Structure 1
Amino acid sequence: MEDTCIYEVNGDKNGLRIVDGYNKIEQGYTDYMRDESNVYGSGVKRIYFPTSISNLVYAVREALDNGESLTISGGRTGICAGAVPYGGYIISLEKMKRVLKIWKDGNGNYLLKAQSGIRLNEISNILRNRIFSGIEVDEKFLEEKKRYFYPPDPTETSATLGGTVATNASGARTLYYGPTRNWVEELTVVLADGRVLKIKRGDIKGEDGVFRIPVANGGYFQVPVPRYNIPKVKHSAGYYSRKRMDLIDLFIGSEGTLGVIAEVTVRLVKEPDYLYGGVLFFDNEVDCIDFVENTRREFSPLALEYFDASSLNLLLAVKRDQGPTSEIPDYSENRYAVYLELFKNHYEDFIKLLDRFERYLFKYGIRSDEVISALNKRDHGRLKKFRHQVPEKINSIIAERKKSIPSLHKVGTDFSVPNGKLREMMSFYRETLNQSVIEYYIFGHIGNNHVHVNMVPHSEDELQRAKILYRRFCEMAVKLGGSVSAEHGIGKLKKEYLRILFDDSTISQMKKIKMTLDPEGMLNPGNLF
């Protein structure tokens, strides 16, 4: 089956593990009742652990016949409760974790096809260490001297491939490579009626308001094409829409509401041969923004990340606690920082790049010996750990406070704004937060005009005030032409904010698409709507 179409597959229990019973699940499978949002679900009657498409088809058809909802569970690394179940059945994709094939397409790109439950770090390990046993691999790929990798760079590398497709996930290197959507070439999806849809990018474009999908035994299945505008920024909120839209893009970012992603084919690229990473320090936030905006134009960096003074001071406290064994570098208090990555694939070009960058820094009054730099694998690892310790420390702070007040949680933003609007958004954050007297930290993907404001309350009153501020920030981001969710999706927790971004007419279009593909509302109920 090479082209895009809907076809029948016989459901099969062979190899399908099923856990039955509310009490058994409540007692022994509590991890499947939550995700990283720390919201807990309840009332689940059955969990399926498929290993194949035929297992998936069996599970979906059985749920349909029994009138039960299905919550799709992958790595459960999301923070919007998208994988949190409320009754019905769960399909856990964790056993569907095989890489199936690596080959070269007609355009000279290497493609990797895998089951949707494989984790990103598992794909990385297979490619980096060339662990190809049991995988159908093109001989030309085996002969390649350079290593290849899958470019999307979500912070949580334990996320599953299918989960990142379902949320159009992104990360630090999205600045250069773009989000997950840019790298997906084919999907195999089990629909809500148990039929299987194979989608190949480029096969079906929306025309005259519909996608006309061939059915293997004759005829067509028609799905409405979204006809609304979405923000022209980093964006993961609701169903995608664009002119001459490709069918595959409807399913990417749909949060498991339109079908169960079973298999994914993605493009690979060569790893950068020469990579530079650096942390640069500034006296204030305005200088950081100046540097980011100019550097985007001058250098096409892989990544540009931001840390405000509170975030860096937090890490200095961690360094003091860790003592002399700490790998957190030395720097002064009350500074601001930008982390960036630059690369070239030829040594001579790389040396020229570093020389040019050193001269560029001189214009900002920054000497190269004041920069924390990484040129080898070990130092790159240290800088990556350094970057990730900010959210880890914030999470540990709120976990400690929850011991006294269990209802407490951090309130973190995920808003993005267009180029040219970041200064205004950052000013609004600062003015509003400084008046609130709530503890907060700002860090994240500044290169995409997408920073995370983490408000860390001490009390229930502060938590409620933080939620009010979150809504105000959301409204401002939308006013500036931005998105209410740049990378984390909507899930069950941010539905009200989707309605700040989109009007009733747009939401109605989305619901019509959902009803066409899932008329019983069986798949991931509570997500998006």
Structure 2
Amino acid sequence: MSNHIINSEKTTEEISFNEIYCIRGSNEISDNFASYLSDESKLTGEADWLFFPKSEAEICSIMNFLRENKIGIYISASRTGIVGSSVPTSGGILSTEKMNEITGLGYDKERGNYFLRVEPGVTLQEINDWLMKMAFENISELTPDSIKKVKKVNKLLCYPVDPTEMSATIGGTVATNASGGSTLKYGTTREWIKGLRVILSSGEILDIQRGQYLATKEGSFQINQSNGIQLEFKIPNYIFNTSVKNTAGIYSKPEMDLIDLFIGSEGILGIVTSVDIWIVEKPNLISNVLFFNSEEDAITFAEQLRGNETISPELIEFFSLEALNLLKKVQNNNPGSLNVPQIPIEANTAIFFDFPYSENNLEVMFNELEEISKRCNTDLTNSWSGYEKQDHTRFKQFRHALPENVNAIIAERKQKFPQFHKLGTDMSVPETNFRNMMKYYHSTLRNANLEYVIFGHIGDFHVHVNILPKNMEELKLGEEIYEKFAKKAVEYGGSISAEHGIGKIKRKFLNIMYTQENLEEMRLIKKTLDPSLMLNYGNIINFEGETE
């Protein structure tokens, strides 16, 4: 039975603060642990403390020390984010990297699925590697005979959420509600979270199972803390935009599940210490790259492939003419670097897609693909295809080679202009406005005479525009255009941040999507659950007296 009231608990184990491994002093951290001061955005911060807890009890001890000394804390792990969420502005850093165990396996009869219990510092790659081997030492059975049952399944299982960067930790992906190309078929992280344990800034622990705690019709929740204090709060009145891929702001919907408040909140409400995730059978996949004569044909192909039940693609990725030209240049300069065949000289655009198959339906699927291809003025002779593990790996590497080479170009130009940074969009729009948005991207950038590439998750109507300025004047122009793109995406019913979150870098764009009243509602939840504003201060929302 669901309930809007949850009782929090204190840790049953007392750990002395002095027993916890930590690095002290801003100079020591900046000199010898500098990687903890930034993420993939290359935004850099500072901190006086760096903690490496190994348990919930150690985190609670750290939180008690920080609260007593009025020190803020920033949650960190793999630091694969690109919006500065884990970058500290002062205070301390709490790295969950030593909480990296897979601890339990269970089976849910109602859903008919197995689930794993994992600590927040486990990476997505480690989860799927473990599922390939199924090593049950030190694994607790969360439901009776779950290990015996899963051994009888005799099928490979996987955690299907793939936000492109498999070195990301499960805790980080929960904090950002991470997604990627596979969102087309499997949705975002949110759909795969069965349970969470979360430590509040008070040191109190919440144990939340999906479906157990739902907001009232008035939008209220209540937390009864072990010290007798009751925390009552209302979820925001806005309805979070789920009609498109969206990670902008705190999630809210009528009678929502409490677990969803913490998923995607970027660590500003609590520290995730344990995650229950659903796992499913791993499909056999064929990876493909198909080339087109025009962008219009590529978009039409993606639209027809997306809704095709026979093929049922796992992901659909897009490469613009500008993106292919950059990769052709890379191939010409270093022929073996991309580990794929030569990109056709006449190729204008490309679509990369995976689909599941079995031996008995393979011919039917390829016949269907050929028909769709012909309608889009190409055919399967203009494609690469492979089903072995090495094929999947090199096609993914081909996809990743694009942002990697963009980063290399920016890094080279940054040597001349130290203030340089990449301008990469992360905006989504509804299907009805996707073609219009693509035309707007191209016309705006061409009129500005800026170098750029477009690539990404066309299956979700969410592509990344990377602007490559050559000097400081172009950087300033690119920043102005970025804001125009954000406004146009929202005008079209989309999101300013489809999968990367807001962090500190995109905070100034949040008022394009939300009213000041909406933002104040987010602040109120933050202040209720974290009254001292200790946790990940500066992520998502600003507070009085701050300027963007």
TM-score category of the 2 structures, normalised to the smaller one: over 0.9
Distance 1:59 1:463 in 2: 41
Of 172, 175, 178, the residue aligned with 1:163 is: 172
Tell me what 2:202 maps to: 193
Matched, 1:27 2:27: no
2:515 counterpart of 1:512: no
Q: Matches of residues 403-442 of structure 1 in structure 2 within 5 Å? A: 403-442=415-454
Q: CA deviation at 1:326?
A: 5.0
Q: Secondary structure at the match of 2:364?
A: helix
Q: Deviations over 1:142-177 (max 9, x none)?
A: 232111111111111111100000000001111110
Looking at structure 2, the residues matched to 264 and 91 of structure 1 have their Cα atoms a distance apart, in angstroms, of 18
CA distance in 2, matches of 1:112, 1:40: 35
Per-residue deviation, 1:220? 5.4
Aligned counterpart, 1:371: 383
Answer whether contact 1:186 1:200 (CA < 8 A) is retained. yes
Aligned to 2:267: 256
TM score, norm. by length of structure 2: 0.92
Pair 284,359 (structure 1): closer, same or farther in 2 beyond 3 Å: closer
Conserved? CA contact 1:279–1:340, under 8 Å: yes
Alpha-carbon distance in structure 2 between the residues aligned to 1:326 and 1:37: 24
Partners of 2:298 and 2:376 within 8 A in 1: no
**Per-residue Cα deviation, 1:11-40 (whole angstroms, up to 9, x for no partner):** 414863111122222221111111111111
Match of 1:448 in 2: 460
Q: From 322, 343, 353, give the equivalent of 2:356.
A: 343
The more displaced of 367-376 and 466-475 is 367-376
Query: 1:146 is matched with which residue?
Result: 155
- Residue from 406, 411, 416 that aligns with 1:394: 406
Residues 1:280 and 2:283 are matched in the alignment: no
Q: Kindly indicate whether residue 77 of structure 2 is the aligned counterpart of residue 74 of structure 1.
A: yes
Task: Please state how far the C-alpha of 1:390 moved relative to its aligned partner.
Answer: 0.4
Question: What's the TM-score once normalised by structure 1's chain length?
Answer: 0.96
The structure 2 residue matched to 1:117, chosen from 107, 114, 121, is 121
Letter in 1 for 2:240: I
| CA offset digits 1:381-437 (Å, max 9, x no partner) | 111111110000111111111111111111000000012110110111111000111
Give SS of 1:382's match: helix
Tell me if structure 1 keeps the 8 A contact 2:305–2:372: no
Shift of 1:267: 0.2
Q: Which amino acid aligns with 2:254?
A: K
The answer as to 2:116 corresponding to 1:104 is: no
Specify the alignment match of 1:473 in structure 2: 485
Report what 1:290 is aligned to. 300
Task: State the 1:352 CA deviation.
Answer: 2.6
Q: Distance in 2 between matches of 1:117 and 1:163?
A: 8
Q: Counterparts of 2:463 and 2:97 in 1: how far apart (Å)?
A: 31
Unaligned runs of 5+ in 1: none
CA contact (8 A) 2:38 2:45 kept: yes
1:122-133 → structure 2 map (5 Å cutoff): 122-133=126-137
Deviates most, 347-356 or 50-59: 347-356
Give the deviation of 1:219 after TM superposition: 8.1
- Does 1:501 pair with 2:513? yes
1:194-219 deviation digits (Å, cap 9, x = unpaired):
01011110001110221134556778
The residue identity in structure 2 corresponding to 1:157 is M
Matched with 2:281 is 270
Query: Relative to 1, partners in 2 of residues 1:294 and 1:25: Cα closer, same or farther, differing over 3 Å?
Result: same
- Structure-1 separation of matches of 2:63 and 2:53: 11
Deviation of the 1:324 alpha carbon:
4.9
Where in structure 2 are there 5+ consecutive unaligned residues? 142-146, 542-548
